Amino acid sequence: MPEPRELTDFDHGVPPVAVSLTSTRVNPTGSWKYIRPLFQDKVAPCNQGCPVGIDIEGYMNLLRENRLDEACELLLRENPLPAVTGRVCYHPCEIACNRAKLDAAVSIHAVERMLGDRALEAPLPEAAPRTRDESVGIVGSGPAGLSCAYHLVRLGYEVTVYEAEPEPGGVLRYGIPEYRLPKSVLAGEVDRLRALGVQIRCGVRVGQDLPYADLERHDAVFVAAGVQRSRRLGIPGEDAGGVLPGLDFLREVNRGRRPPVGPRVVVVGGGNTAMDCARTALRLGAEVTVLYRRGREEMPANREEVEEALMEGVKFLFLAAPVAVRASVHPHEDEPLEALEAMFGALEGRTPAPQVVGLDCVRMTLGEPDASGRRRPETLADSGFFLAADTVLTALGEEPDLDFLPGDVRRNGPAVRVNPLGATSRTAVWAGGDIIEEPHTVAYAIGSGKRAAIGIDRFLRMRAGEATDGVDLRELRLGPQGNLSMTRWREDDPVRRAEPVNEVVRFEQLNLAHFARAPRHLDRFLPAEHSRRTFAEANHGLRPPDALAEARRCFNCGVCNACELCLIYCPDVAISRGDGAGFTIAYDYCKGCGVCAEECPRGAITMTREGL
């Protein structure tokens, strides 16, 4: 930029003509303003919506710049199991995603899965340095237990996880079917945790193989034993042969067994366990009908799970409920002789138990909303019908089995009561996962594990006399309703944030003029006619380039991603690139017009009153 030469040869100080001698930069035109812009990073709704408490927007922004390793690192700070959640989480983040109001939500799960798979391919990490003297015992190696263990190990503690089953993973290993979550993926994630220093003792059922009291050699205990008991149908005849709790059925299959199911399977229930049961039974060769007392819209199951089940050929019978199980001692008269012989052989001469042959059902209709807000199903008079079934799988919800816990761990019905940091009523005991009053999802479980890790860390530090008072839980949340951020707890955010505030950016705060519509990339699925007969993974996610394209669909709500529109549109040349990633506003020249805040596509600039 050329600068004028100095002109000093004027006898009288004033040149002969009005020739400029200086720049307008001598005018502090910033004094005109009464409001001023402030770069103020806020919280993206996906981040608040994530029960794990992941900085989703943050890794999307890194991916936009093709910084995959850093994106992976940012993700792993909060989520120890991204390859798992990328597959099985029902992604409430995508429901929160502002982009859904423009065209379609960003396919966050697919991006997370891509990053998770990338982390699986990376060399195993070195063990986290042990910086604390204390040790923590964890009951259950499901997502909550693994999450808590992971974060505590990274915080410097010695951690031992006690797992009743022969393999770690809990519901990830024994609940979720292989076609949704390959065992190899879970194993990879667990390997990384073990490499970091998490010790997992499998085949140790607390209260049976190990007295609970022995756990208390640890300085703190986190209980995440999960749910094992399926709710009963509560109708006559349900003890008949061929009526199985859905969870037991899934556990058997996940153990590698192939329990015999009849050609006609009826699954009772409308939740995710029901879908897993139905699709698993389908893969075992059955014809499957899901019986649900409300309508499709009321199903608690994830919508995509329902769609996939439908595509694979699962039938649904809505607005119908069983009133009795009908059974017979000779159910399989038309079965091949070999099958009957096998069955009777197994009985070893005992009287054969009655076997289910079907369900007596009634039609339902929906009445007024009940306490849950859903419309209450009511029986239609004279609507009885019979539904033939060789196997009935029940999926009406599950309950924990917590008999091993000391009595002073207070309950609320079947669930353990915890405070906002996951602490139970018993000192030094925390709880999480499906045994507390939260939605029974993998994401909530992982979030509860992290929350407890923070609670345990805080507790142990306080006990050791370190100053951790004054920690404001609200500040640890991603948004007022979000889950806790380990990064915030550790105060080591690698993302430079300008004047962060814990507000969530609403759709109305975005400037949509700067976004073009772009269709969401759809996951790749095995063809339904193929997937319905195999336990191979049904959903293959997105190819990495498509996942990166999805990251570029992200609005980066509330967080400056250096798009520079503020700088480009400033009529007063008052915004410049600062050192590093941020921007600088020259308030001496900013007139407070507000164009930058108005044009910011993502609500990352706030206009504030001058002088405040």
Partner 1 sequence: MKKVLMGNHAVSWGVKLARAEVIAAYPITPQTQIVEELAEMCAQGELAARFIKVESEHSAMAACIGASAAGVRTFTATSSQGLALMHELLHWAAAGRHPVVMADINRALAPGWSIWTDQNDTLAQRDTGWIQLYCETNQEVLDTTVQAFRLAEAVDLPVMVVLDAFFLSHTSEPVDLPEAGEVDAFLPRREARLKLDVDDPRAFGALAPPGVYMEMRLRQQEAMDQARQVFREVDEEWGRRFGRRYGAVERYQTEGADTVLVTSGTVTSTARHVVNQRRARGERVGLLKVKMFRPFPTEELRLALAGVPRVAVLDRNLSPGHGGIFAEEIRSALYDLPAERRPRLEGYVIGLGGRDVTPAVIGECVDRTRAADARNGAPAREDQWVGVKP
Partner 2 sequence: MSQMMIKDRIPREELLDSGHLACPGCGAALAMRMVLKALGERTIVALPACCWSIIAGPWPQTSLHVPLYHTAFETGASVASGIKAALEMRGDRETTVVAWAGDGGTFDIGLQALSGAAERNEDFLYCCYDNEAYMNTGIQRSSATPWGAWTTTTPAPVPKSHPKKDMLAIMAAHRIPYAATATVAYPDDLIAKVQKAKHVRGTRFIHILAPCPPGWKSEDEETIALSRLAVRCRVFPLVEVENGERWRLTLDPPVAPVAPYLRRQGRFRHLTEPQVAAIQAQVDARWAALQRRVGEGG
Residue 512 in the binding site for partner 2 (CB under 8 A): no
Nearer CB in complex with partner 2: 404/569 = 569
Residue 100 in the binding site for partner 2 (CB under 8 A): no
The residue with tokens 């193929």 is 530
Residue 20 in the binding site for partner 1 (CB under 8 A): yes
Residue 587 in the binding site for partner 2 (CB under 8 A): no
Angle at 541 between CA 60 and CA 557, to 5 degrees: 20
Q: Are strands 411-412 and 158-163 parallel, antiparallel or unpaired?
A: unpaired
Kindly determine how many residues on this chain lie close enough to bind partner 2 according to the rule CB under 8 A.
Answer: 52
Binder of residue 467, out of partner 1, partner 2, none (CB less than 5 to 8 A by kind): none
Nearer CB in complex with partner 1: 15/352 = 15
Which of these ranges, 18-26, 221-229, 271-279, 561-569, lies near partner 1 under the rule CB under 8 A?
18-26
Q: Are strands 575-577 and 583-585 parallel, antiparallel or unpaired?
A: antiparallel
Residue 19 in the binding site for partner 1 (CB under 8 A): yes
Binder of residue 565, out of partner 1, partner 2, none (CB less than 5 to 8 A by kind): partner 2
Nearer CB in complex with partner 1: 14/213 = 14
Q: Least CB distance from residue 36 to partner 2, whole Å?
A: 11
Residue 412's φ and ψ, nearest 5 degrees, are -130, 95
Residue 2 in the binding site for partner 1 (CB under 8 A): yes
Q: Which of residues 21-40 bind partner 1 (CB under 8 A)?
A: 21
Q: Least CB distance from residue 306 to partner 2, whole Å?
A: 29
Residue 319 in the binding site for partner 2 (CB under 8 A): no
Residue in 343, 387, 498, 518 binding partner 2, rule: CB under 8 A: 518
Residue in 36, 570, 583, 603 binding partner 2, rule: CB under 8 A: 570
Residue 332's φ and ψ, nearest 5 degrees, are -115, 50
Nearer CB in complex with partner 2: 94/276 = 94
Residue 564 in the binding site for partner 2 (CB under 8 A): yes
Binder of residue 413, out of partner 2, partner 1, none (CB less than 5 to 8 A by kind): none
Binder of residue 13, out of partner 1, partner 2, none (CB less than 5 to 8 A by kind): partner 1
Give the 3-state DSSP-derived string for 118-172, with helices as H, strands as E and coil as C.
Answer: HHHHCCCCCCCCCCCCCEEEEECCCHHHHHHHHHHHHCCCEEEEEECCCCCCCHH
Residue in 5, 11, 12, 24 binding partner 2, rule: CB under 8 A: 24
The conformation of residue 448, written as its DSSP 8-state character, comes to: H
Nearer CB in complex with partner 2: 91/99 = 99
- Burial string for 96-117 (b: 16+ CB within 10 Å, else e) reads bbbbeebebbbbbbbbbbbbbb
Rounded distance between C-alpha atoms, residue 109 and residue 97, angstroms: 12
Beta bridge partners of 577: 583
Q: Is 412 helix (H, G, I), strand (E, B) or coil?
A: strand
Which of these ranges, 6-14, 107-115, 140-148, 564-572, lies near partner 1 under the rule CB under 8 A?
6-14
Nearest CA-CA partner of 313 in 540, 537, 529, 535: 529
The residue with tokens 């600039």 is 605
The answer to whether the Cα torsion of 481, 482, 486, 488 is positive or negative is negative
Q: Which of residues 537-556 bind partner 2 (CB under 8 A)?
A: 552-553, 555
Structure tokens at 377: 């199903």
Q: Rule CB under 8 A: which residues touch partner 1?
A: 2-5, 7, 12-21
